């Protein structure tokens, strides 16, 4: 009985939280690579399928943003802040920031070219899931 219980529970214990990079449906994309997503959020790639891209970030206190920066951007907060300080002097601004996951999904749903990220469980069919990762 104990073995059966462990066999059933271990996959749930080991399974992490799933996250997704999401895009407005009008972008007509099914997937992007990590490097393409990184270029979009660092504003090095600004147009896709003839649509201006609008990356959207969560507030810096949000744990989902921490996961995105670690797993997708592969940058520490200090390094990212340094990057945007340098970019500021070149006339670049960081992605827009919203306070909640609900706001990210709503923004991505309504704005052509919008790309954001959220826990996979919070997404629905109103946005395209273009990349997934597990924390």
Q: Which residues of the chain have pLDDT under 50?
A: 4-14
pTM: 0.86
Predicted local confidence at residue 12, as pLDDT: 46
Please tell me the distance from the alpha carbon of residue 85 to that of residue 78, in angstroms, as a whole number: 11
Instruction: Residue 44: count other Cβ atoms within 10 Å of its Cβ.
Output: 10
What long-range pairs does 38-46 form, CB within 8 A, spacing at least 24? Answer: 38/72, 38/73, 38/74, 40/115, 41/72, 41/73, 41/95, 41/115, 42/73, 42/83, 43/87, 43/92, 43/93, 43/94, 43/95
Q: What is the pLDDT of residues 31-43, one digit of tens each?
A: 999 999 999 999 9
Q: What is the pLDDT of residue 5?
A: 44
User: Domains of the chain by range and CATH?
Assistant: 16-134 (3.40.190.10)
**What's residue 15's pLDDT?**
63
């Amino acid at each position: 009985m104990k073995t059966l219980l462990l066999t059933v529970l271990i996959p749930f214990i080991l399974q992490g939280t799933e996250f997704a990079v999401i895009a407005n449906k009008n972008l007509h994309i099914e997937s992007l690579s990590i490097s393409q997503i990184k270029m979009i959020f660092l504003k090095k790639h600004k147009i896709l399928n003839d649509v201006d891209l609008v990356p959207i970030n969560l507030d810096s206190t949000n744990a989902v943003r921490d996961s995105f920066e670690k797993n997708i951007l592969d940058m520490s907060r200090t390094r990212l802040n340094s990057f945007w300080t340098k970019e500021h002097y070149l006339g670049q601004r960081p992605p827009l920031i919203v306070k909640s996951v609900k706001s990210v999904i709503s923004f991505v749903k309504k704005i052509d070219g919008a790309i954001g990220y959220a826990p996979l469980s919070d997404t629905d069919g109103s946005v395209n899931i273009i990349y997934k990762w597990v924390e």
